Amino acid sequence: MASPGLRPVLAPTFLLPSVAEKRKALVPSPGLEETWDGELGGMEQGNRSKSVDLSHVIKLLEEPEPSTTEEQLQVLEKVANRYRYGILLNDIAQISKILNLCAEKSHTDKVFIEPTCEIIKLYGLPFSKKKLSDEVTYAKEVQEAISQLGCLMRVPCSQVKIQICKSIINFYHAEPPKKEFQVYQPVSANYKKHMVELGGLAETLVLSLTLVENQLTEKLWIIKTLQHLSISETNCQLMMKAQAPIRLCSHLNDVDPTGQLLFRSSEVLWNLLENTSKDEITDQFNNLECVQALKEAFTHLLLHGSRHYDRQLRNDILVIATLVAQIPGTPMIETGFAKQLILFATFHEVKSHNPLVKGLRITSSYEDFELKKLLLNMLTVLAKDLCSVQLLHEGKVILALFYYLKPNEKSGPVGMSAAQFEELQLLAIATLATVAPLLIEDYMTNCGNTRLLMFLEWCLSNEPFFAQGNSFHGTGGRGTKLAQMRYCLKVLNRVVSLCDGTVNLDLCDNGAIQQLLDILKKTTRKYEEDAIVLEIQTYVFLILSNLCENDTHRKELFGWDGIDILIPFLKMDAKKLYSGLGHNRLLVSALDCLWCCVLGCIILEDYFLENEGIFTLLDLLMLHQKSVCNLVLGLLVEFCDNPKTVSHINAWQGKKGQTAANMLISLWRQEEDDMGVKRDKDGRIVDTKQPLIGQFQKTQEVIPMPANCPTIAIMDVAENMRAKIYCIICKLGFENLPGLTAKDFVTLAIIRRYLDFKVGEVWSEICAELKKENFRPVPPYPEVLQITEAFENVGKMVLSLQTEMLESQKYQELQEEEKCYAKIQSLHKQREMVSKSWENFLTRTSNYEALKNAKGLQEKSIEISRSKVKPFKATLHPTDIKGLNTTIASGRLVTVESTPSELTGGPLADTDLALKRLPIRGGALKRIKEVKVIDSVKKGSESIK
């Protein structure tokens, strides 16, 4: 964490090229004895100063004669005066050498301390460059110079050390150079910071803490400098190499009247925790010295800190302690820090006689409120270490957390507002979800189930309550009790998932099943679907699943009402699954509830079938979501034990009349495509030795394993859906499955032999393991191991059957195609005959000779069709109309020439009535009389003529 006092460095303003050229033009020629001090802003309203030859200064400082001391001091003063507006990059190497010579002389002669500090001060000024490439060209020299600056901390002079720290801090707070003194272009804003990282200055400063153990002022300046350097991740890693946490914690509780030591050290530690990986920081914080120092600092500030500043620092130390406690193996218990933190977290809710909390008071201030939240959060962190469970039990943490499990009031305890109490309440319940499964005996001793169910009843009640929803745990619950309900159900889910018979029985005896069903009803009816409502419903289904699993009586308590509530959740719109609100988890939990609360109870299974439950499950298969499909197929396998299920599956129809068998076989093919099983374009077996093996299984090497460990072939059964599809189709039967195509029958041949192929895989693995271990089986086992050849023959037989199916299908398609072509040909022929007949008709109507020929042919055809043998005593009547010139059938016509009167059989033989009745009765005619039966035929004939 960066210090709040740090500010970003502002990039210096660059001069326009025209201005720079004008300034260079003002510089006199180098041949003059005196020159303008213009190389780095030496023009100050006409003031002149002599240029300094840095090489001459170095030679002068290297002279050991004391007589030259005064001259050396004068030259150093000129150097400091010349570069008082910043150092040029091409001079940095010589300036660094001058600084080292001054530092060496300051050991023996104190007069050089002041010049040394003045030159060190130059490093804090902005660097400048003549060319754009100078930053890269002189990068190594700058890096060495800054690194050497850190090494000067060995100089036994407080003034020098402090000035070094000030100059380094100026790297992060440097002011841009003044424009009126700016000639050359300043370096980029982050150039110095980057050089600090490359030079390893942070590591050097951490090591220099050992030089100032008894010097508070210098120590504070070094830690202040580290505070600025620790903003960078690279610097933090360098500080970790120098064991910064251990070195800082060793001085954390040193006497400091100013209070800055603890504050700045905590800032550095915080930055180290945030900017380094856990692997790097674990070893250094995992020691008694660091944890003990944090414990003493926190306890002192908590018990004796009364200022606002002390409270803030106390909370910062607790945050650092929380981050340290998350590191596995940290000695929080060995130092007694964990026990103290548990005591401070629960002293208000559970009365304690410990002298540490005798005079401790938590006020309604914001800092104390934050402290309470941090302490509750620390309980969650400590609970991750199972060694601290006994301390949580001794500290009565469960009882303290139950203190917040009550209806919210207008104002919280100790003068806290209602919003603050709500935030603590939600945090306490969330902490209870972590702690309660670890302290289940304390949970039951304090009637945890009863408390939670009563609190849930309040959440469902219409009692007025306006939640603030300010905290992280209150997200989505503003104005409602949903946040409280959500975390209360989370606690119940964690507790019930332990599968403790006593806990679950106590819940059921308190009417938990019916109360949970009421929650589903009310949340569905009262609230809109959002993330928090879906999470609540998910928790309810999971709790019901754990309660009702393997208990028929509890399934009966779930009852028909439970199924009526459950089915609408299974009929979820497919579009909602991609909304991101949690519909996927809700659907999976609802399916799990169906499995645990309905299956195994015949009454509920029948009721589920009556309400078209199987149709709903098959509709879910149409979503083609692998996780959902796998679970639904498992449910269908279990439901198939009910004899009524098969008829429901066969009766189902999907889109475009798709049947259940067709859909299951399609899922099989899709699963094999995902697995990379080799099949040809028609779906036939390619590898008869290993017809079921996918790409992943093929790449796995056979490893000899104990008999109780599943092999790859066995694991494959659980990892995909093929075994479940095989079981369902076995229940449906492999014969007379409706709605299957030829490709489905080809796949069905493989499904039918799935178990045989899987047994063959297991035997192949056994043979491979024996071969790998160089075992030679004794008789008759070699003959037994040849069983793999038999399974290969099964694969060949299935392949042959598939080929026969495809050939039969092709032959059938060919026959249907021929029938189709024959039908088309017949239609074309009929059309041709109709067309030819129409043409002949038109010819007859327009050509009289053609009409006569056609008439002759007609009469000839009629004559030929008559019988040549005349029956005995038979009377033949003509059927045509004489004189009719038409080739169209003239209709029915009978001509009677004579009828013998002796055959009439009555006095009415000569009447018309007799003529009408005798043909009907079958009597013989005695008198032949010509009768025209249809007058319309004549009229039609005349019209044709």
Go through 28-57 and write b for each residue having 16 or more CB atoms within 10 A of its CB, e for each that does not: eeeeeeebbbbbbbbbeeeeeeebbebeeb
Does residue 885 lie within any of the structural domains? no
CA–CA separation, 160 vs 92, rounded Å?
A: 19
Query: Which of 151, 181, 199 represents a domain boundary (last residue)?
Result: 199
pLDDT given at position 781:
63
The amino acid at 877: H
- Could you tell me the pLDDT band of residue 414, with boundaries at 50, 70 and 90? low
CA–CA separation, 815 vs 687, rounded Å?
A: 32
pLDDT given at position 178:
58
Mean pLDDT of 462-491: 81
Number of H helices, E strands in the chain: 45, 2
Q: Tell me the pLDDT tens digit for each residue of 819-837.
A: 999 999 999 999 999 999 8
Backbone angles phi, psi at 129, to 5 degrees: -135, 150
- Could you tell me the pLDDT band of residue 46, with boundaries at 50, 70 and 90? very low
Does residue 271 lie within any of the structural domains? no
Do the beta carbons of residue 638 and residue 599 sit within 8 Å? yes
CA–CA separation, 784 vs 775, rounded Å?
A: 15
CA–CA separation, 164 vs 205, rounded Å?
A: 10
pLDDT given at position 516:
94
- Could you tell me the pLDDT band of residue 415, with boundaries at 50, 70 and 90? low
Q: Where are the alpha helices (DSSP H) in 527-551?
A: 531-548
Query: Counting Cβ atoms within 10 Å, is residue 555 exposed (0-12), middle (13-18) or buried (19+)?
Result: buried
pLDDT given at position 37:
39
Domain that includes residue 60, residue range: 52-199
Mean pLDDT of 15-41: 34
- Omega of the bond prior to 780 within 30 degrees of 0, cis? yes
Do the beta carbons of residue 309 and residue 346 sit within 8 Å? no
Mutual angle of helices 583-597 and 531-548, in 10-degree steps: 20
- Could you tell me the pLDDT band of residue 21, with boundaries at 50, 70 and 90? very low
More confident site: 311 or 920: 311
Query: Which of 763, 779, 813 represents a domain boundary (last residue)?
Result: 813
pLDDT given at position 382:
93
More confident site: 497 or 358: 497
- The torsion angle over the Cα atoms of residues 209, 214, 216 and 217, rounded to 10 degrees, is -80
**How many C-beta atoms surround the C-beta of residue 670 within 10 A?**
14
User: Does the pLDDT value for residue 181 go beyond 60?
Assistant: no
User: Does the pLDDT value for residue 33 go beyond 70?
Assistant: no
Q: Tell me the pLDDT tens digit for each residue of 280-314.
A: 787 788 888 899 999 999 999 998 888 888 899 99
pLDDT given at position 819:
92
pLDDT given at position 897:
56
Does residue 303 lie within any of the structural domains? no
C-alpha dihedral sign at 726, 728, 731, 737: negative
Mean pLDDT of 328-352: 90
- Could you tell me the pLDDT band of residue 695, with boundaries at 50, 70 and 90? confident
User: Does the pLDDT value for residue 932 go beyond 80?
Assistant: no
Predicted structure pTM score = 0.74
User: Does the pLDDT value for residue 518 go beyond 90?
Assistant: yes
User: Does the pLDDT value for residue 29 go beyond 60?
Assistant: no
CA–CA separation, 194 vs 140, rounded Å?
A: 12
User: Does the pLDDT value for residue 935 go beyond 50?
Assistant: no
Backbone angles phi, psi at 185, to 5 degrees: -80, 130
**Which residues, 6 or more positions from 227, have their beta carbon under 8 angstroms from its beta carbon?**
3, 264, 267, 268, 271
pLDDT given at position 704:
78
pLDDT given at position 221:
94
Go through 533-546 and write b for each residue having 16 or more CB atoms within 10 A of its CB, e for each that does not: bbbbbbbbbbbbbb
Does residue 374 lie within any of the structural domains? no
Q: What percent of the chain has pLDDT over 70?
A: 84
User: Does the pLDDT value for residue 651 go beyond 80?
Assistant: yes
User: Does the pLDDT value for residue 911 go beyond 70?
Assistant: no
Of the listed ranges 208-212, 315-319, 800-804, 874-878, the least confidently predicted one is 874-878
Mean pLDDT of 187-199: 87
Q: Tell me the pLDDT tens digit for each residue of 834-847.
A: 999 899 888 888 88
- Could you tell me the pLDDT band of residue 175, with boundaries at 50, 70 and 90? low
**What's the mean pLDDT when you consider all of the chain?**
82
The amino acid at 551: D
Does residue 668 lie within any of the structural domains? yes
- Could you tell me the pLDDT band of residue 859, with boundaries at 50, 70 and 90? confident
Does residue 82 lie within any of the structural domains? yes
**Which residues, 6 or more positions from 8, have their beta carbon under 8 angstroms from its beta carbon?**
none
pLDDT given at position 785:
64
pLDDT given at position 183:
66
User: Does the pLDDT value for residue 664 go beyond 70?
Assistant: yes
Q: What percent of the chain has pLDDT over 90?
A: 36
What is the SS3 assignment for 679?
strand
Q: How far is CA 899 from CA 911, 919, 924, in A?
A: 12, 12, 8
Mean pLDDT of 364-379: 91
Number of domains making up the chain: 2
What is the SS3 assignment for 47?
strand
- Could you tell me the pLDDT band of residue 896, with boundaries at 50, 70 and 90? low
C-alpha dihedral sign at 238, 242, 245, 250: negative
Do the beta carbons of residue 543 and residue 489 sit within 8 Å? yes
CA–CA separation, 64 vs 54, rounded Å?
A: 18
Across 148-157, 508-517, 784-793, which has the greatest mean pLDDT?
508-517
The amino acid at 297: A
Across 123-132, 417-426, 437-446, which has the greatest mean pLDDT?
437-446
Does residue 868 lie within any of the structural domains? no
Mean pLDDT of 866-888: 72
Q: Tell me the pLDDT tens digit for each residue of 728-743.
A: 999 998 888 888 888 8
Mean pLDDT of 704-715: 82
Q: Tell me the pLDDT tens digit for each residue of 578-625.
A: 888 888 999 999 999 999 999 989 999 999 999 999 999 999 998 888
pLDDT given at position 587:
93
> What tokens were used for 283?
């070893």
CATH of residue 147's domain is: 1.25.10
417 forms beta bridges with: 411
- Could you tell me the pLDDT band of residue 421, with boundaries at 50, 70 and 90? confident
> What tokens were used for 642?
């009910």
Query: Which of 797, 813, 829 represents a domain boundary (last residue)?
Result: 813
Mean pLDDT of 793-816: 87
User: Does the pLDDT value for residue 851 go beyond 90?
Assistant: no
pLDDT given at position 27:
35
**Which residues, 6 or more positions from 551, have their beta carbon under 8 angstroms from its beta carbon?**
none
Chain centroid offset of residue 873 CA = 104
Longest dimension (CA), the chain: 187
Does residue 856 lie within any of the structural domains? no
